[in-house]
Amino acid sequence: MEQKLTLQQKLLQKLSPQQIQVIKLLEIPTMQLEQRIKKELEENPVLELESDNPGAADEQGNDDSDNNTDIDNEEFSMDDYYEDDEIPTYKLNVNNYSKDDKYIDVPFSVGISFHEFLNEQLGLTDLNEEEQQLAEYIIGNIDDDGYLRRDLMAISDDLAFNMNLDVPEEKLEKILRVIQEFDPPGIAARDLRECLLLQLDRKEEATYKLAKTIVKEYFAEFTKKHYDKIRSKLELSEEELKKGIDEVLKLNPKPGSSYSNPLNKSNQHIVPDFILELVDGELSLSLNQRNVPELKINETYSDMLKTMSQNQKSQKNDKEALSFVKQKMDSAKWFIDAIHQRQTTLLLTMSEIISFQKEYFQEGDETKLRPMILKDIAERTDLDISTISRVSNSKYIQTHFGIYPLKYFFSEGLQKDDGEEVSTREIKKILQECIEGENKRRPLTDEKLAQILKEKSYNIARRTVAKYREQMGIPVARLRKEL
């Protein structure tokens, strides 16, 4: 069998450890950066906080004569560490804070979790031990909104396969009824209709009688907002129906989400990565580094490395120790450089975003936002689009008119009839204003909205209007109808 040998030439791009380090640090926000630095401090003894050894920088400055020491040890050359000045130590706090500075942190209280709250109530029931175990299993299947999305037959099968328990569906139904009496009202429902009925069942007032009838017997018509059908079948006046509908709308469709949940991202306190201030009409940008510690190389280890490298008669164990210290020294140096590069890249990117959107940042007027995509900032900074994407992801800026995610400032552009390019955000704002000011008895259709935009020189198709409306989380006209 004849074998053919071929020669292929491939161009491969490999990232250095420092580049990988920078990429990872760019992706994380300030809050996580603090934890990442603490983790590195725990794992690498060569790294230390600048505040741990005050005056160390001065001592290093007096040791310049040692920095040019010639070392003949080829295996462990010290040139990497002493080729210029002293070992680099970066002051990582961009903002300098004093004791007199006022900085208000919003307290974030996690409290007890939603499922723990349900299990606490379980302990107050008169269920026996076996029933409590089954109830705990059912509670474990309740989602964060407070719904039991799985049917009882599936839970019965799970118990049989996983716990070797033969539990009939009827028994689980009985236990579920007990859980549904827990707080908050409407908990452990299997659908929206049951959730609303559970809440209405706890209301004794006569005013809720109509609301119960609407949910129990005319739920399909209610969800589709076919109010005329409900009014006709129940022989109600428009005012009476409106009162009943209003009582239903006061109920909570997601009872679980109203309770403190540590996993709920909406409860998390946002720490801005950038701080933008308007001082005497000029914009001043800084990184929020208040909780990010200053780092430097531990002098004890750098001295140890010098001493060990200068010892020509080092034993095998000494060489292993020298290799370990050098590895940790490399790692520490890379990490400090990566932090420094992160700061530089973040400030460069945000500065160009502000420059691009200067008119908007001066006034905070949403209509002044220019169309801007990642490519625009990449070209202005000479950075890769993926780098701009990493900087923009999960980062926030505190301005004089509020805190915003960086992604908020990016939007596509459209041309008006007169050739002027406008941001899609401007169009969405107009749509929002039109819908907020519409007659709720006769909401504006997508076709009508497209016509209004056309009158304002925005030539946009109906399907595009529908796309923007959906992106804004606004339902179709029929579902916006009110009595």
What local confidence, expressed as pLDDT, does residue 365 receive? Answer: 81
The kind and range of the H/E element at 285 are strand 282-287
Distance in angstroms (rounded) separating the CA atoms of residues 50 and 39: 16
pLDDT over 90 for what percent of the chain? 10
Structure tokens at 177: 């009824």
Band (439; pLDDT cuts 50, 70, 90): confident
Overall average pLDDT of the 179-187 stretch: 90
Residue 176: what pLDDT?
Answer: 93
4 vs 466, residue with greater confidence = 466
- Beta strand spans in 47-154 (E): 47-49
For residue 353, pLDDT over 90 is answered with yes
- In contact, 330 and 317? CB cutoff 8 Å: no
Q: Using the predicted structure, report yes or no on whether residue 71 has a pLDDT greater than 60.
A: no
- Alpha-carbon gap, residue 258 to 266, rounded angstroms: 11
pLDDT category of residue 189 using cuts at 50, 70 and 90: very high
The lowest-confidence range among 46-60, 199-213, 422-436, 455-469 is: 46-60
In terms of average pLDDT, the best of 105-114, 177-186, 302-311 is 177-186
Q: Are 153 and 190 contacting, i.e. CB atoms less than 8 angstroms apart?
A: no
Residue 417 has pLDDT above 90, yes or no: no
pLDDT value of residue 202 = 85
CA distances from 71 to 305, 307, 310 (A): 12, 10, 6
Q: In whole angstroms, give the CA distance from residue 355 to residue 357.
A: 6
Whole-number average pLDDT of the chain: 76
pLDDT of residue 225: 83
What pLDDT is recorded for position 236?
85
Q: What are the tens digits of pLDDT across the range 18-67?
A: 667 677 788 788 778 888 888 888 888 877 877 654 444 444 444 443 43
245-256: pLDDT as tens digits:
888 888 888 888
pLDDT at 330 over 50: yes
Q: Report the range of poorest mean pLDDT among 65-74, 203-212, 297-306, 453-462.
A: 65-74
Higher pLDDT, 366 or 170: 170
Q: What is the pLDDT of residue 402?
A: 86
- pLDDT, residue 340, reads 86
Distances (CA, A) of 285 to 249, 276, 354, 397, 398: 45, 5, 9, 10, 10
Quick check: 348 pLDDT over 90?
yes
For residue 112, what pLDDT is reported? Answer: 59
Residue 316: what pLDDT? 56
The span from the CA of 383 to the CA of 376, in Å, is 10
User: Tokens at residue 270, please?
Assistant: 């946002």
Q: Walk me through the domains of the chain, giving residue ranges and CATH numbers.
A: 17-94+287-357 (no CATH), 114-249 (no CATH), 411-480 (1.10.10.60)
The yes-or-no verdict on residue 84 having pLDDT over 50 is no
Q: Find residue 404's DSSP bridge partners.
A: 397
Q: What mean pLDDT comes out for the span 357-367?
A: 85
> Nearest CA to 300 among 87, 92, 74?
87
Categorize the per-residue pLDDT at 322 as very low, low, confident or very high, splitting at 50, 70 and 90: confident
The string of pLDDT tens digits covering residues 371-390 is 888 889 999 999 888 888 88
Token pair 């999960």 is found at 394
